Chain A
Amino acid sequence: MNELTIRINKKHSEAFSLTVDLLLPNRGVSALFGRSGSGKTTLLRCVAGLEKSEDGEIKLNGKSWQSANYWLPAHKRPIGYVFQEASLFPHLTAKGNLDFAIKRADSKRKVIDYADVIDLMGIAPLLEKYPHQLSGGERQRIAIARALLIQPEILLMDEPLSALDDELKHDILPYLENLCQRVQIPILYISHSIDEVIRLADYLVILENGKAVEQGATQAVLGKLPTTFTQHQDTSILITGTIIEQNNEWGLSTLHFDQHRMMIRQGDENIGDAVRLRVQSRDVSISLSEEDNSSILNRLPVVVDALIKDPQDPSTIMVRMLAGNTPILASITALSAQKLKLHQGQQVIAQIKSAAVLR
């Protein structure tokens, strides 16, 4: 019973309809990932009650918000909603915006303390200012704080970073990460940025043309062979591990995951930190020899799990390998696959040229 059920059947136009039937965990961050026009925002608005689907069922923790003959209006749903643009009330100060939520919050439920929210979002110095005196990132932090202070049972975030430039995104992501780890409520997070998904999401739903084409734990979904090859070049996987060693002489950190070790360029992480790495499939190559005679540091013994051709680009093949339980994808040329005689079950060495530390 303790989960989020989202069943929506909504016809938008002749060309587009949203048809999803999701059962999401009631904890952690679930990302809804897809391009613009895939129906992500419509889905979130249906969950919030801002839009109605003729036919649908929305249920959280056993309580129904919508069913065949029942409809709970948005203002009665225990949600917090963060819009793409911060949408603060311009006639109120930052504090006034927060008070708007505090006054109307459900007094029976305490998700987070006022002081914690202020601290978490780092907004203490901004409270007396009006929205037009704040930067885009500051406004969005206030908006997130406001959505939390309503003491919601679920936090809905509609691409909260998309209206910000890269620098601001970079500034605000750590706040979001802290938030995602701190609050005990589920977060439904819409994004079209794979980086954000890898940094934040535990659970991932991929939407395409109003349908959920993949869903599951983030790592597992990203490690699946793509069903459509349109994003071939951008395909990325997620490696989560712990820093176990740091070599200051070479400026490298060693990461441990699934009985494997990887070296990454040393950043601001410390020994014992859990990190998330993004590895793009085009940065992974395959070698048959165990001999360490290349410049690539990270050579992982893996087992080939599957191969798939790109119908649009016959010269490329995507290879799925398993390093323990962690899937790794490599995008290589068909010619190389032929030369190496790659097949399922084969033991090979995956050479990872570079990895981005996202957290």
Chain B
Amino acid sequence: MLLSAGDIEAIWLTIKLAVLVTLLLLIVSTPIAWWLARTGSWLKAPINAIVAMPLVLPPTVLGFYLLIFLGPDGALGARLNQLGLSPLPFSFRGLVVASMVYSLPFVVQPIQQAFSAMGQRPLEVAATLRSSPWDRFIHVALPLAKPGYLSAAVLGFAHTVGEFGVVLMIGGNIEGETRVLSVQIYDHVEALEYGQAHLLSLLMVAFAFCVLALLYAVQKRSNSTTSIGPY
């Protein structure tokens, strides 16, 4: 049994979405994670909570609010409308924004953890070696946080690939635009095309397993060169 044109289109769209979301999230999450890992501000707890919200909220709730917020009458949607930008819901760009919100904790948290775990010491050492704050960040903090970034990228990617509720709420089911893999499987099941659904589901299971196995293998290997420990 082969993949249909629609299946391939959905796979391609899913990969495109996940790659884009992951890249954008890695950039957005870095300052958030850095701030959360170092601050002593009272704002840390509420910001942490906001970042973690998608972990506990039903995706439909998230999708619902995003739909309202980004819609033509929503707070952000109206503003975009004024600027002459097309509305985000039911478009690929809307899907990107929604996925970023949905996958945010999966990217912020591993990076934040990596920054916290390295502690102040390596940065202090670098400071005594005439390394400026920016130089310290690039040449000490980032390399030491590499396993955290790896986990973040893998989890962010995998999680975006697997989302369903939010996509359906904000993206709908438009072929080539918002019909991602999980929605495609749902469609197959609705249409009682169990064979197609099986094939795509199996692909997802294999993908999830490979990604996680790779993640753990890499994490184990890089432990010795990134933990500051007693060195």
Contact = CB atoms under 8 A, between A and B. Distances in A.
Contacts of B143: 89, 91
A90 interface: yes
A104 B125 contact: no
A91 B146 contact: yes
Interface residues of A, number: 34
A305 B127 CA distance: 49
Interface stretch (B2-10, B64-72, B209-217, B219-227): B219-227
A81 interface: yes
Nearest to B146: A91
Given A85-B231, A139-B231, A91 B128 contact: no
B231 A91 contact: no
B129 A104 contact: yes
Contacts, number: 83
Interface string A215-251: 0000000000000000000000000000000000000
A50 B127 contact: yes
B130 A76 contact: yes
B227 A74 contact: no
A150 B133 CA distance: 17
B225 A130 contact: yes
Given A87-B121, A89-B122, A131 B231 contact: yes
B231 A86 contact: yes
B230 A100 contact: no
Interface in A60-94: 73-76, 79-81, 83, 85-91
B229 interface: yes
A136 interface: yes
B132 interface: yes
Nearest to B128: A81
Contacts of A90: 144, 224-229, 231
A256 interface: no
A253 to B, nearest CB: 40
A90 B117 CA distance: 13
A50 B128 contact: yes
B127 to A, nearest CB: 4
24 contacts: A49-B127, A50-B127, A74-B128, A75-B126, A75-B128, A75-B129, A75-B132, A75-B133, A76-B130, A83-B124, A87-B122, A88-B231, A90-B224, A90-B225, A90-B227, A91-B144, A91-B226, A100-B129, A101-B129, A104-B131, A106-B130, A130-B225, A147-B128, A150-B128
